[in-house]
Each structure stands twice: as C-alpha cells, then as structure tokens.
Structure 1
Amino acid sequence: MKRVLLVIAALLSLTVLLAACKKSGDTISTPTAESTPATVEATPAPTELPPYEANVLTGEPKGADYPEGQRITAVMVNNIVAARPQRGLSKADILFEIKVEGGITRFMPVFTDYKTVGEVGPVRSGRDQFFRLILPWQALYIHEGQSVVMQQYAIDYDYGKLNNNDGANGYRDYGRVNWAGKSYNAGSLALEHTMYTNADNIANYISSQNVDMNRTYNSTFFNFVDYRLGTTRDLSNSLDSAYSDKYGPVVSDGQYVEIVHSQSYKTRFIYDESTNQYKMQQNYSDGQWRDTVDEAADNKVLTFPNVIVLYTDIHTYPGHEKTDLQYVEYAWGGVGYYCYGGKCEKIYWQKGTPLEALRLYYLNEDGTCSDTPLEVNIGKSYVAVTDVDFAENFVHSTLDGVNLSTATTQTYEKSYVEDDAKAGETLGSSTDDLTAAATGSGEAETTEAPAQETVTEETPAQEETPAEEAPVEETPAETTEAPADETPAE
C-alpha cells in the first residue's frame, strides 16, 4: 500500500509541477532563429540503455566467454559430515542446501557453464526436492543413484538424458582423506563418500550420449537488480525498512546468520564488511563450527553476497517411513529471509507446480505478501530451503556479543536406509498423486535430539552396488518450458 501511495503522491506532484510550468492564458509560439533567446537550451535526450544481457544465475553482465544458448548444470553433492570437505562448491553460481533423510542436508551446486566446473563431489544420489527447483529451467541434473520418487519425476516429465544417474561417468577417489583424517583405503571411510566427477567427464557424457544442451532462457533465476544501472539495493534504506509485522521490523540486523535444518544440522554465515560477503560455516560431529571450504580450490572458504532462507513444510513421504524420504512442500509458498550487506529482510516466496519457477516477493506494509517481485543484488547466492518447524530457531543479529568459538549442538544422523531406485522401478502412481497424499500429512518435529538415535556415519560401508540407471526417454524435454508470463524477459 505504501508503494502505491508513494507512486500516487509522485504522480500528483508531477502534475502540480507541470501545471505550474504553464500559467493560465499563456500561449505557446514557435520561436524563430532570430527571436530565440540565448538562454534556451535543448533538453538532452535520455540515455538509452544497452540490451539487458545478464548471467541467468547471478544477474551479472555476460562476459565474452558466456555460454550463450546453453543449459545450466546442477550436481548433487554429499554433505554428511564424513563427506567433508567437498570439492567444486566455490565454482557454483547458486548453492542449494536442503534436508534429506536422517536429518542430514545435501548440496546442489548449480553452474552456468559445465566447462568451468572443475572437479566436484563427493557426488550423491538425486532427490526430488532439488530437482523440482531446476525442472522449470531444464537443467542438466547430475547425481549417482536416485530415490524412487526422483526417478518417477524423471519419468513423468520425460527428462531423458538430462537426468544423469551415474555421476556423469564419475570416478572413485579411494585415497581421499576427509576432515577427520579418515579414508576408504585405510578402512575408515564409507565408499559412498568417494565418488567425484569433473568438467571433462561431464563434457564426455554430453558428447557420447548426444545430450541436447541447447537452451535459451527468457529470464534470470531471480529478479536481479539491473546491472546496467550500476546500483545496489541497500536493505537498510529500502522502502521495506520502514515496515514491521507482529514479529518486529521487516529489515533488521544480519551480520550473523544461523540456520537450523534439522535437530542437529546447522549452517551459519558471518558477514565481512570489507568484502561485502558472507563466510559460510557448518556444525560438525564434535560440536565445533568449521569453515565450509572447497578442497579442489586450495581449501578456499565459501563466501556469498546473497544468503536466502526459505521456510516450508518438510516431512516424510507417506509410505516411505523406512527410508525417511523427505517431502518438501513447494505448492503453498511461505515466509523467508533475504540477507545482504549485514542486513536481513523478511520476504515471501512462491513456486507452485513443479514447472513453475521459484519467485521471491516483498512484503506489504501490513506484513502480508505483496505482488511486487523482490530485487536480489547481483552475484552468487546461497539458498536454504528449510523446515518451518525450525523457523523459530533462525538467528540473525549483529556480531556484537556473538562468541564465534562456542561449541554448539553435536551433529549426528538418524539411522535410515538409503533409498536408491532400481532400473524400471516406479511408484505405481504419478508424482501428482504422491504429492497430493503428502500434502498436509506431516507432523511437527521436536527440537530435542534423542540420544538413542545417534549413529556413527563414518563407519565404513561394504562395497556398494551402484544404482542402475533408470530407463528414461531419449528425447530431451524441450516442450516443458517455463511459461513466459512467469519469468520476466531478459
């Protein structure tokens, strides 16, 4: 409402100003060359902006080496504590983190250009809560194994070879040593934490399988601030900074950000004003916070200018309690937070059907969802889709008084059976039917970690049998494009 009032006030002011420029009874004549006063100057023509050509994932201007007309690429990366440190995460343009089974989270780094990925992993199995985020964008989706629900989504949406189920010809690094000094060769690390792939393997998969990587996007992933204007949206001075809802100011401090994903998995971000970036850290099984680093980039610490947290209902799919397979509700939308420049702004998000793109919105003055798309500053983004049961555990504050060395809740994983679909295995129903059954069937989790559920995830597993590749259609699904009215044209 305030935006509408401000626009109306501006238009009224402009009307008054224009009326004041022409007094009643004045006549307008066309001056001749002899009668034109020397003080009259021609009004300069407005500067015409060049065409908007932004990176689809970051909103930054496309460089000379931008892969024009190419699909984006997403890879599933293991984030169980024993799998850390990972490789290739620093190359991601967007990094998603979402809870999967056992209370653990998994990563999905998304890359503009697969040729710049380098080495990435440990690669892990595909899950539909990630796939549904990239489905409207028809991304190449790379993973090792997949849940039966994920496999059903690939079948229902004719995803073909864009759904790669063997880590793009992935390879094992049996000698890799994790953060705790354990390795598969030493008999102390499970095999599932050793699968990697790289840019060459991905390129070989695309070439050998004749995967159609052609795709022209008509919008960016988020509604980014227009790079052509050379401006940055300052959250502390935004229009919404004057708003409050029943929980307090819509825009408030965000130098320190802490996200709870489950009863034990936590991620936090520490803002560095000198770089205007958030440094990423995670909680470990010894209760300590450690930097999230990219082992393939000399242990570079992951940093992001944009941190986005989206809350929704997450619970176990009915009928999949044995594997604790998690259902994430995207149809309803919900509340979230956008953190930038040491400030956090409360927002709303919407997605809807699997083929609809994720969209972020400002709040109205009364705290409800507006119809105005949120402007995200250009650059890389971290995005957490998080269980609403833990929304009250979200922390955003100044750094004053925060003891960054304090130990926190010990990270652990519940016992569960990994869900890997066999070739040809289906749900026996569509994903629409499964979603309808899952909607509203969840129960709130408690925030107390039951000690008897603690397991040691570092215990080495027996030699695993790789999941067979799901039978999918060979023709890439070019017909399932995001509707143009849902994605603003570039």
Structure 2
Amino acid sequence: MSRKTLSLALALVLLLSACGKGPEAGTSPSPAPPSPAASPTPEPEPTPYDGPVNPLTGLPLEHGSPDDRPVAIMLNNLKKALPQLGVSQADIIYEVLAEGGITRMLGVYQSVEGVGTIGSVRSSRPYYLELALGHDAVYLHAGGSPDAYSKIKSWGVTALDCVNGPYEGTLFWRDQWRRKNLGYEHSVVTSGEAITTLFPSYSFRQQHQEGYTYDMAFAENGAPGGEAAQSVTVPFSDYKTGLFTYDADTGLYLVSEYGQPYVDGNSGEQVGVTNLLILKTRCANIPGDEYGRITVDLTGGEGWFACGGQYVPIRWEKGFPNGQLRYCTADGAPLVLGQGRSYVCVVPLNSNATFS
C-alpha cells in the first residue's frame, strides 16, 4: 500500500469515528426544551382603607377626627330665601315642619373644613335641639322661640346664637346682598372657615366624651331589597312637597322642591343623597301660640327607607331629649344604610309618601 493510500484510509477511519459520536444515521437531533413562558405580573391587591371613618356616612373621613363633635346648623327653607348655601356638603339633612306649613332644615356636618359659606341661618325650635343633641353636636342658630331658649338652658345644649350672643360679626355675619334683596331675617350666614378658625378659641367641649359612639351601620350597597323607589314624593304640607329622583349612574337621590332642583348656591350643584328616610310622627299646633308654632313628637313611629332605587317600611325611635335616632326594619333588625349622605324627612301622620 502506498503512503498516499494509507493516509486516505486513516483519515476515513477518523471521520467515521467522529461521526459515531453523533446521532444515528437518519435521525434528527432532539430539540432543546422550550424556555418557560413568562408569567404575567399579577395586579397588586388594593390596600384596604384603614384610616378614620366618618361616623355619619360610613365613608373615609378627609378632615378632622371621628371623635370631634359634629356641627348642626339651622337652615332657612322659605322659597324666597333660596338658594341655601353649603347644604350639598352636609352629611345629614333633617327637614321638619315649622309654623305655617313651612319647613326648616338642620344640616349636620362631621367636618365643615372646605365647605364655604353656610346659610342662611334661622331660628331654633325645641325639636331641632333634640335632633342636634342626638349627635352630641354643637348647634348654630339665629334666634329661637321662647321654649327653645328655655330648653337650650335646661338641656345643656352647646348653642351658638347670632341674635342673642356675642357671635355676630365673627362666627356669623349678614350677607349684604341677601339683606338687601331677601330681607334682614334671611341674611345670616356662617362658613366652614369661620367655624374651624374660631371653635378652638371657644370654651365648650370640642370632642365627644370618652366612650361615646354613634351606632349606625353602613354597607357599600345599602339597597334594602324592597319595592321600587325610582321616584319618591314626600308631602310635608300644602306649602312644601319634596321630590327625590333616583339616578342610577351616581346611586344618589337627586332632590327637588318647589318644582325646581334643590341646589347649593355655592356651586349650583343639585343636592344628592345616598339614603332617604321618611319618619311619620305627630305634629300639633301649640294651643294659644300667636305665631302658630308646633310641637313635633320625636319619641318614635313608623316610616320608610329608600336607597339604591328600592324602599322598605321601617320603625324608628329616639330617646328624649338627647338619644340617638335608631332605625330598624319591620321585623326589628337594625337598619343598614348605604355609605354616603342621608336626608331625613320628618312628616305628619297624615302625610302619604308615594313611591314609583
């Protein structure tokens, strides 16, 4: 064998030896295992709110403390004195008859910070004092009936009065446009800024006493599961009827009165509330009262609760004079309100609210 032939044979042996280390003839190399697919980044769980809660609404409290005493302000509701100011930001609005078939309102605010001008402020009656006492509230008013002044003293109400007190020109003042165009008695106003600035300089108790609780349950969805209540008409008297129209987009009852939307004069915003409560009770003229003043029995009775476009009958009661209003369903279970503002209509026994 020649040297050239020997070299070719050795090269062929080495080639076959190298090829023998690979896959068998006629087979393909095994594919590499696929890389694991990247998992999507999970959305972070929302952090549960653990800050202070407004005891009057069940919502987060943006200003102040739940231990602060709320502010309850008497509000004029004569048609000629409208629009009211600052009312859309009240946590609870109580509307109750006064003399002559008119109504007045008590706006209750856990905090008035940022509310702006509030008014016009009007005079007191004893049953409005009872409502304020039910919240351990600081009560602002401009005058009052003789019986109201007597009860302010005997019941120990923290009452700040524009008419017979040292507060006009500081905590209260006369809006000059209202004084000129609406009348002197419809011109008293206050403001959230005046209240938050001046209250710390006053000597009354600023916070609830230790152990105080406002016993009211709230749920994110407060619809009671009853009959339809898309529109609710609430007659107070021949002079005043309230209309509450449910807006499904916001979950609020939009308020109208005197045939017009009930608006806040600060913003032009129509007042909207989550909860509507209608409380029926005995309202009677005071014998011999020259101004036609009335009494309103706040010890208890029947009524209705509307929320989320539905309503159910309820029962209610209040301890005299400083007990909290307590609501229950017809079977006696404590009522659960929707988280949000409330409007409470206190109407005579012969008032027949209608729901549709």
Output the CA distance in 1 between the equivalents of 2:115 and 2:151: 26
Task: Give the CA deviation at 1:199.
Answer: 2.0
Output the CA distance in 1 between the equivalents of 2:263 and 2:175: 18
Aligned partner of 1:329 in structure 2 is 297
Counterpart of 1:235 in structure 2: which amino acid?
P
Aligned partner of 1:224 in structure 2 is 218
Output the CA distance in 1 between the equivalents of 2:147 and 2:216: 27
Task: Give the CA deviation at 1:257.
Answer: 0.5
Unpaired segments ≥5 residues, structure 1:
1-48, 177-183, 226-230, 237-250, 284-288, 365-369, 398-490
Aligned partner of 1:84 in structure 2 is 82
Counterpart of 1:220 in structure 2: which amino acid?
Y
Q: Is the 8 A contact 1:55 1:220 kept in 2?
A: no
Higher strand share: 2
Choose between structure 1 and 2 for higher RCO, CA contacts under 8 A separated by at least 6 residues: 1
Task: Give the CA deviation at 1:355.
Answer: 2.2
Aligned partner of 1:442 in structure 2 is none
Task: Give the CA deviation at 1:51.
Answer: 7.7
Aligned partner of 1:376 in structure 2 is 337
* 2:250 is the alignment partner of 1:282: no
Counterpart of 2:355 in structure 1: which amino acid?
H
Output the CA distance in 2 between the equivalents of 1:51 and 1:208: 31
Output the CA distance in 2 between the equivalents of 1:361 and 1:68: 24
Output the CA distance in 2 between the equivalents of 1:292 and 1:50: 33
Of the structure 1 ranges 141-150 and 214-223, higher mean CA displacement relative to structure 2 is found in: 214-223
The Cα offsets for residues 238-270 of structure 1, whole Å up to 9 and x where unpaired, read as xxxxxxxxxxxxx21110001001122111011
Aligned partner of 1:171 in structure 2 is 173
Counterpart of 2:112 in structure 1: which amino acid?
Y
Aligned partner of 2:42 in structure 1 is none
Aligned partner of 2:152 in structure 1 is 154
Counterpart of 1:264 in structure 2: which amino acid?
Y
Aligned partner of 1:347 in structure 2 is 314
Task: Give the CA deviation at 1:309.
Answer: 0.6
Task: Give the CA deviation at 1:89.
Answer: 0.2
Aligned partner of 1:313 in structure 2 is 282
Q: Is the 8 A contact 1:120 1:196 kept in 2?
A: yes
What does 1:87-106 align with in structure 2 at a 5 Å threshold?
87-106=85-104
Aligned partner of 1:261 in structure 2 is 236
Task: Give the CA deviation at 1:115.
Answer: 2.8
Q: Is the 8 A contact 1:95 1:107 kept in 2?
A: yes
* 2:324 is the alignment partner of 1:396: no
Q: Is the 8 A contact 1:91 1:116 kept in 2?
A: no
Task: Give the CA deviation at 1:234.
Answer: 3.4
Larger C-alpha radius of gyration, 1 or 2? 2
The Cα offsets for residues 84-110 of structure 1, whole Å up to 9 and x where unpaired, read as 011000110111110001110001111
User: Could you state the TM-score of these two structures normalised by the residue count of structure 2?
Assistant: 0.79
Output the CA distance in 1 between the equivalents of 2:125 and 2:202: 23
Quick one: which of 231, 234, 246 aligns to 2:223?
A: 234
- Structure 1 residues 152 and 340, CA, compared in 2 at 3 Å: closer, same or farther? same
Partner of 1:175, secondary structure, is helix
Unpaired segments ≥5 residues, structure 2:
1-47
Identity of aligned residues (%): 28
Task: Give the CA deviation at 1:53.
Answer: 5.2
Aligned partner of 2:273 in structure 1 is 304
Q: Is the 8 A contact 2:283 2:296 kept in 1?
A: yes
- Structure 1 residues 120 and 255, CA, compared in 2 at 3 Å: closer, same or farther? same
Counterpart of 1:163 in structure 2: which amino acid?
A
Task: Give the CA deviation at 1:381.
Answer: 0.5
- Structure 1 residues 233 and 139, CA, compared in 2 at 3 Å: closer, same or farther? closer
Alignment RMSD (CA, Å):
2.1
Q: Is the 8 A contact 2:58 2:339 kept in 1?
A: yes
Output the CA distance in 1 between the equivalents of 2:75 and 2:317: 25
Partner of 1:141, secondary structure, is strand
Output the CA distance in 2 between the equivalents of 1:232 and 1:396: 20
Task: Give the CA deviation at 1:352.
Answer: 3.1
* 2:197 is the alignment partner of 1:195: no
Output the CA distance in 1 between the equivalents of 2:71 and 2:195: 10
Task: Give the CA deviation at 1:279.
Answer: 0.6
User: Could you state the TM-score of these two structures normalised by the residue count of structure 1?
Assistant: 0.58
* 2:355 is the alignment partner of 1:359: no
Partner of 1:373, secondary structure, is coil
